[in-house]
Structure 1
Amino acid sequence: MNYRTERLGKVERRFGFSLLLISIILVFNFGLLSAGGEGDTEMLAFNISASGFKLDEGYPKPRVFTPNGDGNNEQVTFEYENIDENSIVCWIYDIRGSVVRQLDIVGGGEDKFTWDGKDEGGNIVPSGIYIYQIEVEGQTINGTIVLAK
């Protein structure tokens, strides 16, 4: 955008917005650049840090897993970004809504956890569709995974 003012002459303004992930800190950048007719340049910029939890794209993996002892797809893996390193709770439910397993993950770990297809008693659950519900500091993420034998 170009503007004309009597005092400054021609003033050009350019707005930029970008989303960056630096280490594990989410930063929003916003800048305003204005240049006077004499070649004077001014830059106004500020950063806003965000916090939170999100599953990495494409996770959980695999969506269909087979804990049958053959060494392939034995467990489902959830990888995530946990900026504030909060504790995580993941409940696994069967299709009827009964809790099959509760996984408690302490924050500050390696940013992934797995479910091996076993219930609270250590028994492999039947083939079927299972619902996961992840809760972190009031944020809830739901989805489905399939266990096939």
Structure 2
Amino acid sequence: ADDMLGAPLQNLVEFTMFTDFVPPFGNMTSPRADVWVQDMFAPLVFEFFDAVSPILVDSCWVQVEEDFYPMSEIITFISDDLRSGECAIYPERYGFHWNPGDTIEVSLHICDAPDTCEPNCRDTLFLIRFEPTTACYVHPNPFTPNGDGVNEYAVFDYPRMFVKPALLKIFDMRNRPVFEDEIGPIAQPEDFDIRKWNGTDSSGKPLKSGIYLYIIFSEDGEVLCEGTVVLVR
């Protein structure tokens, strides 16, 4: 290489420059967004990082439903190079009141601060699903598995059926076992197929009309529910 006068350069100087067009990444680490949440007061914890540029804390926030919380007020940790950190929102501190079965929208808005270009920002949406409260319940009862498409099977509800499997056992009035099946867990209340009985025995043979006893056991053998179900043909 030559200088402006055409003379060879004696000492070459090399520069490496990076242009950052990638926004920071953020994730909600607690509670997990892919599972049912039981603790109504679990803190909302987020982690964030950028591979190149520092986080622009003053331009970041967390939105819970309609409310905004500046990152500067909820940050719990930031690295020395400002490229990673953590923030948290504590429901009790901010007066949140959620109920079993609620679904809450939470979004994280996070930006970085490149040296020579505009900030890169990313919005990430998370859904928090609180586990519904469920009790022992059979519906419909009586049920009529006669092929007319109405009330063809009995559906069994039991505590914590959204997160825990169970064992359903059916007995006749002489206390003889006639049917047994694993049921649950379910993802939606409409998931009837994995917690139903169609009035047959364990071999698939239709049972006679009558009153039947049922017991639902937990994984460790605890009795969760027991009662009667009426089959009418």
Both proteins in one fold, TM over 0.5? yes
**1:139 Cα shift?**
3.7
Q: Is the 8 A contact 1:88 1:106 kept in 2?
A: yes
Q: Match of 1:37?
A: none
Counterpart check, 1:119 vs 2:132: no
Counterpart check, 1:147 vs 2:227: no
The residue identity in structure 2 corresponding to 1:142 is E
Q: How does 1:36-55 map to 2 (within 5 A)?
A: 54-55=134-135
Q: Please, which of 163, 167, 174 is the counterpart of residue 89 of structure 1?
A: 167
Counterpart check, 1:25 vs 2:38: yes
CA 1:67–1:26: 2 relative to 1, 3 Å:
farther
RMSD of the TM alignment (CA)? Answer: 3.4
Q: Hey, which bits of structure 1, 4+ residues long, moved more than 3 A?
A: 106-112
Q: Could you report, residue by residue, the CA deviation over 1:51-102 in whole angstroms, capped at 9, with x for unpaired residues?
A: 9x8536xx21111011110111100012344178222001011111011110
Counterpart check, 1:105 vs 2:183: yes
Q: CA–CA distance in 2 between the matches of 1:121 and 1:84?
A: 28
Q: CA–CA distance in 2 between the matches of 1:81 and 1:140?
A: 7
Q: Please, which of 133, 144, 166 is the counterpart of residue 66 of structure 1?
A: 144
Q: TM-score, with normalisation over the residues of structure 2?
A: 0.39
Provide structure 2 residue ranges, at least 5 long, that are not aligned to the other structure: 1-35, 42-91, 96-130
Q: Is the 8 A contact 1:24 1:83 kept in 2?
A: no
Q: CA–CA distance in 2 between the matches of 1:77 and 1:83?
A: 12
Aligned length: 109
2:202 alignment partner, SS class = coil
Q: Match of 2:211?
A: 129
Q: Which is richer in helix?
A: 2
The residue identity in structure 2 corresponding to 1:66 is T
Q: Is the 8 A contact 1:55 1:78 kept in 2?
A: no
- Which structure is higher in RCO with an 8 Å CA cutoff and minimum separation 6? 1
CA 1:106–1:64: 2 relative to 1, 3 Å:
closer
Q: TM-score, with normalisation over the residues of structure 1?
A: 0.58
**1:106 Cα shift?**
4.8
The residue identity in structure 1 corresponding to 2:217 is E
CA 1:77–1:60: 2 relative to 1, 3 Å:
same
Q: Match of 1:15?
A: none
Q: CA–CA distance in 1 between the matches of 2:161 and 2:232?
A: 33
Q: Which is richer in strand?
A: 1
What is the percent sequence identity of the aligned residues?
32
User: Which protein shows a greater Rg?
Assistant: 2
Q: Could you report, residue by residue, the CA deviation over 1:18-48 in whole angstroms, capped at 9, with x for unpaired residues?
A: xxxxx652659xxxxxxxxxxxxxx999xxx
Q: CA–CA distance in 2 between the matches of 1:60 and 1:122?
A: 21
CA 1:70–1:104: 2 relative to 1, 3 Å:
same
Q: CA–CA distance in 2 between the matches of 1:71 and 1:136?
A: 31
Q: Is the 8 A contact 1:65 1:76 kept in 2?
A: yes
